Structure 1
């Protein structure tokens, strides 16, 4: 008698996962998961979803738009609340954006006469790290679920930077970081405090001595390779905090050239697309975009190598925005997220797809020269793929 033919139900989850890991896009994975219950069960694995996300760092999670956080002065003078500008004109994207409360009206107002008491400090995986302008307390908020977690004010007298690390599968699991000055006089340094969502208590985890009083060039944190990065003001160096080992390091930036004596830079998280242990930076100077790869030199520093050719976008930007507007304002790098470079030119927001090098104007209407702008990504995967049988 011939043996019974094998069916899909006979395939083990680990075998299915080894097939699914080679799917080209997150959309392909979602379609496969919806095909049948065995496929959905195999995909609902936290460890598999982490592997798949690392394999697709530029598309998991998708960038929904740019979150605009206007300063308190704009609100007092009648400007609108914070909002999210969609990066795509697609109706589905706009409906998704409209489903969230990006005005942050669900946050406690503390009874003061103006509505905006909260300043955005960082934005990761659909969650916002905010600080109350009056009390100093912090909060982690999700505009889609309209939920927030109140955090105690960090025990730091001179904070200079903050960072948020949100879990890539469960955004309710997070770590909040506060970087503050330590010491005084001719020599000073930095210390790092961390608060985890599990116990909501601040802990002093790292210290770094510096010869000069440290000042972060931009308190907005960059993130890659399980580390947070900040540029050091007036220096050709940046600071790294490893969020696993809780160790500080100061890293040299790529060597300057006559054409790049001063440039904006952003850390790129390439995930498994990059070399293990390598750090990638995007630099922009005079409309020249370059990608550098840094590898350890054996003495705690990095050796930088140019890995991508530069591309000039000046003519394309002028054609899209208009010469009079373009040259009236400077060009600022907002960030590099999910394979996109986000820029601001006055009240215009632009993006460059680093894979196709396609330039797009995100907004010609919103007046945002004084706004803090954060590229906003949603936590991935969608809720129906969230693990239900394991928490690893």
Structure 2
């Protein structure tokens, strides 16, 4: 045999190893990689690259929570209330170093082009009632309609205002007085609640207060996008502060502040907040430190930190040089008793531009918003000079967002977690680029076609196309 003659046997032929493909990477490892992405628009770009990436993101609600906890809220810009009868304007937050952020801003309809116009008087505009969960709630006082619009997904829903009984200011109005909703619409508040699992579904909560001596009654109406109907609750008495009002003085509250499933109304002259749990529609009360009783509404705001802690920010701007901005957390003390505890204090001079020192004495501060642990402040030096800043409550980092020409009031627009990155139980076979071509029909927006057409590209699709054109 050959090997007996000193010849080596032929080398065994080894089968080539199978090439490593994307399918060999586990979902857990993919999610750990995705956590390293710098922003939510970057995650969208990565997730829509292929079905495997999309499945890894969509299949884990825990990943969604981890990503949101690790990254700051994705601020895309600020809406301004219209002056006169104009449509609300938008100031985009420019970030040229982040192409994904730029693509997201460019792909959204921040000009609100889908808002319907009054054919008789197209100059009449819409007012911003609230801005929450990626939606603008808009009211046109000349029409009986309300609009809920997501500029990023371009989802529009039009529905009627609540029934007249929620606006009945008097228990039994005299026969000669005819009350209509239009007469009381400025007193109504609208707060939108979006389903996390199906962002096409929402509830609109409208609240009307009826102020009387020593007592405030409230009526709640809830509109469901599923039933397309308003459901009005009976008028109820709300909790009152421990220290009653003086005889003859009405109980009055500032406009409501929505945050993390609650709406908060600060009393105009007492250290007290009325609270509504949006899920249960139950009212409760919350006392404040006494010196905050008569603080101006523009210098006070309630909200939550990134980890869900209730916090409030209040400013004393009686003197720009010696005033302070105070941050309070609702937390337990050493004895386990929950109370307001002072977390941080910032001199107002921290927020002033030293280059404008000549107008420093006349500078005024306004608290514009508090979202996920970020406070948005505007500093006004004169009628032509105004800056908008952000303050991170976790790190104390101060950033200048706009300078000199910014106008208030400001509504921060935060990019919501896209519905395409959420597993839909009703349709587990949801396509990667799920959307619909829509049109306004009656009181709602009707689906009229599939996704993917050039005519109906959603902001997510537009963004992904922009991403590809830039790489």
Give the shorter-chain TM-score range: 0.7 to 0.9
Q: Distance in 2 between matches of 1:164 and 1:202?
A: 13
The answer to whether the aligner puts 1:251 opposite 2:272 as a matched pair is no
Q: Tell me if the contact between 2:212 and 2:251 (Cα under 8 Å) persists in the aligned partners.
A: no
- Distance (whole Å) between structure 2 residues aligned to residue 234 and residue 90 of structure 1: 45
Distance 1:282 1:36, change over 3 A: same
Aligned with 2:62: secondary structure?
helix
- List runs of 5+ in structure 2 lacking aligned partners: 1-16, 168-183, 318-322, 429-471
Give how far 1:86 is off.
Answer: 2.4
CA contact (8 A) 1:254 1:292 kept: no
Whole-Å Cα distance in 2 between the matches of residues 105 and 30 of structure 1?
Answer: 24
* 1:123 positional shift: 0.5
**TM-score w.r.t. structure 1 length?**
0.76
Aligned-pair CA distance for 1:289: 2.7
- Structure 1 or 2, whichever has the larger Rg, is 2
What residue in structure 2 maps to residue 102 of structure 1?
110
What's the counterpart of residue 59 of structure 1? 72
Q: Tell me the equivalent position of 2:172.
A: none
Root-mean-square deviation over aligned CA pairs: 3.7
Q: Which has the higher strand share?
A: 1
Structure 2 CA distance for aligned equivalents of residues 85 and 181 of structure 1 = 33
Please give the alpha-carbon distance, in whole angstroms, between the structure 1 residues aligned to 2:340 and 2:427.
Answer: 38
- The answer as to 2:279 corresponding to 1:241 is no
Query: Residue by residue, what CA displacement relative to the aligned partner does 1:271-330 show, whole Å, maximum 9, x if unpaired?
Result: 4x35xxx42222222352332221489xxx9511123x212241551315x135554452
| Whole-angstrom distance in 2 between the partners of 1:243 and 1:254 | 25
- Count of residues in correspondence between the two structures: 363
1:40 Cα deviation from its structure 2 partner? 3.2
The 8 Å contact of residues 79 and 89 in structure 2, kept in 1 or not, is answered as: yes
* Aligned position for 2:13: none
- C-alpha distance in structure 1 between counterparts of 2:427 and 2:340, whole Å: 38
Residues 71 and 32 of structure 1: CA distance in aligned 2, closer, same or farther (over 3 Å): closer
Which 5+ residue runs of structure 1 have no aligned equivalent?
76-80
Secondary structure of 1:256's counterpart equals: helix
For residues 201 and 283 of structure 2, the distance between their equivalents in structure 1, rounded to whole angstroms, comes to 23
For residue 72 of structure 1, give the secondary structure of its aligned residue in structure 2. Answer: coil
Q: Residue 280 of structure 1 corresponds to which residue in structure 2? A: 311
- TM-score, with length taken from structure 2: 0.65
- Which whole-Å CA distance do the structure 2 matches of 1:283 and 1:140 have between them? 30
1:195 to 223, 228, 235: 223
Does residue 294 of structure 1 match 2:330? yes
The aligned residue for residue 90 of structure 1 is 96
SS at match of 2:227: coil
Query: CA 1:53/1:243 → structure 2, altered by over 3 Å: closer, same or farther?
Result: farther
In the alignment, which residue of structure 1 is the partner of 2:409?
Answer: 372
